[in-house]
Amino acid sequence: MKPVFKEYNQGQTMLFPVSLDSKIAQDSPVRLVNQVVDNLDISKVIDTYKGGGTSAYPPRVMLKLVIFAYLSNIYSSRKIEAAIIDRFSFAWLAGGLEPDHNTVNRFRSNHLKNTVNEIFTQVVVMLVEMGYLSLDVAYIDGTKIESRANRYTFVWRKTVEKNKAKLEAKIRKVLEYIDEGIMQDNQPDGEPPTPINSEELKKRIAEINASNKIADRPKEAQKEIVKAIKILEEKQLPKLAEYENHLETLGNRNSYSKTDTSATFMHLKDDHMQNGQLKPAYNLQIGTENQFISHFDFFSNPADFLTFKPFVNGFRERFEGNFGKVLKKAIADSGYGSEENYEFMEANEIEPFVKFPMFHKEQKRAFKNNAFLAQNLFYNKEKDFFVCPIGQRMEKVGEAKRKTDSGFISFVSHYEARNCEGCPLKCLCHKAKGNRRIEVNHNLNRHKEKVRQLLTSKEGLYHRRRRPIEPESVFGQGKSNKNYFRFRHFGKELITMDFAVFAIAFNIGKLYNKGKITPKNRQKLPVLSEIVVFAVVFYEKYKILLQKENYYTQNLKLAA
């Protein structure tokens, strides 16, 4: 038979144009984004508009477009502009408006930079009201995300300190030469050298230039002194100021990028052979529950255990003050297990489902059966002594303090055996020449015992099973499925804004997937059509009344 094809005419005009609303499926995620944003308080965003001049694009419309773009894996302002023109869903959200890429970029940079974090909090609270989150539990983990900064323009602390020390030595020699020539009468013998910094050096140069003793020296000496002063002013002083600025920017860090001073060089495993790559990046920390992002923050320190306290404090500040939600349980891997963090959780009444570095090894039979390990030695708490495997007492011989990079001070006790000479088990016990000596942190051991009991309990086993699939799945979806593995802005403020929008879109996408009709849902609800079920979900879970068509209202009443 001869095939028959449908007719089409690209230039055909229509008496009644097609409504964009009819082109959008009733269960499309764009409708969810539209209705969620309609119920957000964006007064702080509106306050960022100064007024005057031409009319501005409605901020609620712009927020819908940006969030839906991130939900659709579109992050470039130029691609968002193209999507508004080419895609029905974006055109429907825009309502006939066509903001260009500059408008989109200005909206993100100028109007969302200081306000989107509060909007993210509103979305999380909405999820709490719907029953998806409790905010009692936080599964915490971190990942490194590469900065937009140049990978080859960096500053290292050791290099700066080394070069600054060399420069200070040169400056000191020049000042000594000048002092010998004109200011030796004003410099008492034995006075310590003045600390060399840019401000002090400026004062010294000003004093030298104001002195009349230069004119009293011979012409050759005057030329040499003027030459030395010129070197100080034009070369060494600017370089010294540059080193001081580098150290001020570094703060407590060991490195930073010149093109993004907030980024720190960290090891990233993104090579095709999974080799560690040293690149400018940020340490992103997130808290999740039910695979929704409940809190996030960025840190310049690559070590996770130093980020735990400020992260939890940020979580509490976000939800406890305004919404009364108190974090009760923290679940994290061994990268966060430290005495400082355990003390912090105990002080704030947070149950520490946080592993310590040796947790898994201590559960093995070989570890438990090794009687020579310090962790397995018998300890008499009342008389404060240990007993070695052969039965000899190990008495306390002293104490010491340990200070971490964050300033936390821990106390350790030293115990030593009386006489290990001639012991038949010495070769199995220790390799030191003298008596065996051990170092014990009793406070840390107390915390470890508490954590061990929690993690091996029924609830602890549940959280240990959940932890790898909570934040890890969010990172996997974000980097692999949503292609969010490198920032597109400079500076911590802008990347925080960018990730906040991403987190809002991610949570809305997760919410859409949980309410989406699947074959399993369809079998459980055979009477209701997909449209009715979707309307019921919005009415009962999102608390948003759909009143555009009578069809929704009638079916909602029937479904109720």
The pLDDT score that the predictor gives to residue 233 is 79
To which residue do tokens 């490198």 refer?
Answer: 486
Q: CA 96 → CA 19, 92, 468, distances in Å?
A: 12, 7, 45
Question: Which helix (H) or strand (E) covers residue 281, if one does?
Answer: strand 277-289
Residue from 142, 136, 124, 140 nearest 511 by CA: 124
What gap in Å lies between CA 547 and CA 554, rounded to an integer? Answer: 10
Q: CA 238 → CA 9, 162, 164, 229, distances in Å?
A: 71, 17, 12, 13
Q: CA 142 → CA 88, 145, 256, 476, 484, distances in Å?
A: 37, 10, 20, 12, 15
Question: Which helix (H) or strand (E) covers residue 558, if one does?
Answer: helix 550-559
| pTM across the whole model | 0.82
CB under 8 Å, gap of 24 or more: what pairs does 507-513 form?
507/123, 507/124, 507/127, 507/292, 507/293, 508/29, 508/32, 508/33, 508/36, 508/67, 508/71, 508/123, 509/29, 509/71, 510/291, 510/292, 511/32, 511/127, 511/130, 511/132, 511/292, 512/29, 512/32
508, 29 contact by CB (below 8 A): yes
Give the side-chain half-sphere CA count within 13 A for 358. Answer: 9
Tens digit of pLDDT per residue, the chain (560 long)?
788 867 777 776 766 667 888 888 888 899 999 999 999 999 999 999 987 778 889 999 999 999 999 999 999 999 999 999 999 999 999 988 999 999 999 999 999 999 999 999 999 999 999 889 999 999 999 999 988 888 888 889 999 999 988 888 888 887 777 766 555 444 445 555 555 777 777 777 777 776 665 665 666 666 777 777 788 878 888 888 888 899 988 888 888 888 888 888 888 875 666 666 788 899 999 999 999 999 999 998 888 889 999 999 999 999 987 777 889 999 999 999 999 999 999 999 999 999 999 899 988 999 988 888 888 899 998 889 999 988 889 999 999 998 888 889 999 999 998 888 888 888 888 888 888 899 999 999 999 999 999 999 999 999 999 999 999 999 999 998 999 988 888 988 999 999 999 999 999 999 998 876 555 544 544 433 444 444 444 444 444 433 433 433 444 444 44
DSSP code of residue 269: -
The pLDDT score that the predictor gives to residue 294 is 95
What gap in Å lies between CA 435 and CA 288, rounded to an integer? Answer: 50
The pLDDT score that the predictor gives to residue 351 is 94
CB atoms near residue 82 (< 10 Å) = 14
28, 89 contact by CB (below 8 A): yes
Q: Name residues whose C-beta falls within 8 Å of residue 314's C-beta, 6 or more positions apart in sequence.
A: 295, 297
User: Which three-class secondary structure state does DSSP give residue 416?
Assistant: strand
User: Which three-class secondary structure state does DSSP give residue 118?
Assistant: helix
User: Domain boundaries in the chain?
Assistant: 20-128+494-515, 155-257, 524-559
187, 179 contact by CB (below 8 A): yes
536, 554 contact by CB (below 8 A): no
What gap in Å lies between CA 542 and CA 85, rounded to an integer? Answer: 30
Residue from 149, 57, 147 nearest 106 by CA: 57
DSSP string, 168-221: HHHHHHHHHHHIIIIITTTS-TTPPPPP--HHHHHHHHHHHHH-STTTTS-HHH
Residue from 386, 499, 368 nearest 438 by CA: 386
254, 278 contact by CB (below 8 A): no
- φ/ψ of 49, rounded to 5, equals -85, 130
The pLDDT score that the predictor gives to residue 99 is 93
DSSP string, 14-58: -SSPPPHHHHS-TT-HHHHHHHHHHTS--HHHHTT----SSPPPP
What gap in Å lies between CA 309 and CA 338, rounded to an integer? Answer: 11
